[in-house]
Amino acid sequence: MNFNAETRVNEIALSDPGARRILEDAGVDYCCGGGKSLHDACMRANVPAEVILEQLRKNSRKAETGESRWKQAPLAELTGHIRERHHGYVRDVIPRLRGMLAKVREKHGTKHREIEEIERLFGEVARDMQMHMQKEEQILFPFIDALERAASGQGAFEPPFFQTVRNPIYSMMKEHDAAGELVRQIRAASNTYHAPEDACATFQAAYQELEQFEKDLHLHVHLENNILFPRAVELEAAAA
């Protein structure tokens, strides 16, 4: 999306979660004052619009580089990207969503029993994902990075304790399936993220965040299952 100072902030916020985060971090209101131009909203928040515009452009360039580059880019760049964009996002959103769901349950839990179930499911996927990402960051990704360095002649190849990269990949893929299943259950319990008629703003926002969480998980898992892992397996076979 092309942004300029006249673009409405709600359009920017809808364009992608990275853009929304930029507005949020800068304290630019995109909800209640969503119809305002970026210029006006920035004036109100007392931040220079040019600075925000530059951040938004950078963010959309990043988003547009798309997945095709990950089929070629060095694997260390891809693991870095997954850490930064996806693991970073998951760690960031968990406390926020937990807080929102607790608030919604307190207010609407008696009338909308599904909230309690969604909160439980989200708690489960949040805990699983935190452990999962830690394993990737401490074991699998460093191994893949080392494999790549060795393949390009920078550093010796140390045989891993898990014998072949296929072993941790296999467990990570099983964990992806489990997380995907929990998210599917959240989708079903939330009526495909459609908040009820009487839902307050927090209720609606929680469903929007949950939907975003699902989208992000899908992309995250796709990058690992379909690009990173097969490339790592190939690299290992070539090194052997």
d(CA 173, CA 225): 7
Q: How far is the CB of 79 from Fe ion (least distance, A)?
A: 9
Q: How far is the CB of 172 from Fe ion (least distance, A)?
A: 5
What 3 state SS string does 138-181 have? HHHHHHHHHHHHHHCCCCCCCCCCCCCCHHHHHHHHHHHHHHHH
- What letter does residue 28 receive in the DSSP assignment? -
Q: How far is the CB of 236 from Fe ion (least distance, A)?
A: 18
d(CA 220, CA 214): 10
Q: List the x/- string, 114-153, binding to Fe ion by CB under 5 A.
A: ----------------------x-----------------
- Which residues, at least 6 apart from 218, have a Cβ–Cβ distance to it below 8 Å? 180
Residue range at the interface with Fe ion (CB under 5 A); choices 105-113, 143-151, 171-179, 225-233: 171-179
Site for Fe ion contains 224 (CB under 5 A): yes
Under rule CB under 5 A, how many of the chain's residues touch Fe ion? 3
Name the amino acid, one letter, at 230: P
Residue range at the interface with Fe ion (CB under 5 A); choices 18-26, 68-76, 143-151, 172-180: 172-180
Q: Closest CB to Fe ion among 75 and 195? A: 75
Provide the binding-site residues for Fe ion, judged by CB under 5 A: 136, 172, 224
